[in-house]
Amino acid sequence: MSHPSRQSEPPSHRAAGAGRFAPSPSGDLHLGNLRTAVLAWLFARSTGRRFLMRVEDLDRVREGARDRQLADLAELGLDWDGDVVSQSHRLSRYDAAIAELHAAGLTYECFCTRREIQKAASAPHAPQGAYPGTCRNLTPDERADRLAGGRPPALRLRAGVTSFTIDDVLHGSYSGMVDDLVLRRGDGTPAYNLAVVVDDAAQGIDQVVRGDDLLSSAPRQAYLAGLLGLTAPTYAHVALALNEDGKRLAKRDGAVTLTDQKALGRTPSDVLGVLATSLGLAEPGEVVDLGILLDRFDPARLHREPWVVRLPTPPQSP
């Protein structure tokens, strides 16, 4: 379903690029996801960009989750430009990018199991979380032996740097690790870091707003974009929603989805108000809509600390 833009500016005055929200259809969106979606919309619309919706369905997919996610976003008032894009329909683009890297001598097969990687990456000499390069320089005989073992290899990038620096609207200059990241998994599925880079460039997305748990992924992705001759987007990694124990909010924490909230007697407008209050864009209990929030939005004034979700007591039936 395509939605008209809320931007009142004539198209000639709008930025050429786009922002996006890109959920994985593994289940219903919780309040933290919805909050990030609202922020991505505000960042895009406040800068005159298009706002695009992409479903990242290369991994775990739960039946019906995609439609429920889109319906929840629409109930909050979010709109988007053009059709919703699904990564599962874009496999040829990922194959072409991998072929380009392979032709440049920038790939190699990796036969390591997840357990082997975790064990090697935890060694004292290994950078925290980095792939240690176990299969990077296998001899032809070693590679043949591993292929004969029957384990399908993953395909990794032969990175030429160990770190890369990006600029983030909220975090400033940020340098992060770059290792030999997976491009295609052993089961043939394109990896997230590759797919997101290819899709953002192909869709004209030059502004990426997402949770700051993904900040450490940005240097890898920006570096990979450069290898493919693509321009990395502008990043804004926003603070996460946490539960009262200080852990990242999850659906197991209680009534944290829009459906749950409606079952407790709250309207989508009520939920939007809670999200706006958490962002410093509304007073508690104030009735707002996205147009009001857009008028008030200023990235420089966003809270940098996480939002600890303490939901109000549900209304009692008389």
Distance separating alpha carbons of residues 244 and 242, to the nearest angstrom = 7
Binding-site residues for Zn(2+), in ranges, read 110, 112, 131, 135
- Per-residue pLDDT tens digits for 177-207: 999 999 999 999 999 999 999 999 999 999 9
Q: How confident is the model at residue 127 (pLDDT cuts 50, 70, 90)?
A: low
The burial class, CB within 10 Å (0-12 / 13-18 / 19+), for 185 is middle
Options 119, 247, 251, 262, the catalytic residue? 251
55, 84 contact by CB (below 8 A): yes
Q: Kindly list the structural domains of the chain, giving each domain's residue range(s) and its CATH number in brackets, ordered by start.
A: 14-89+258-308 (3.40.50.620), 91-238 (3.40.50.620)
* 245 φ, ψ (degrees, to nearest 5): -90, 0
**Angle, alpha carbons 132-87-11 (nearest 5°):** 115
The reported pLDDT for the residue numbered 318 is 47
Is 262 in the active site? no
Q: How confident is the model at residue 125 (pLDDT cuts 50, 70, 90)?
A: low
- Per-residue pLDDT tens digits for 10-51: 343 455 799 999 999 999 999 999 999 999 999 999 999 999
Binding-site residues for ATP, in ranges, read 251
Q: Is the pLDDT of residue 55 over 70?
A: yes
Q: How confident is the model at residue 173 (pLDDT cuts 50, 70, 90)?
A: very high
- pTM of the predicted model, to two decimals? 0.89
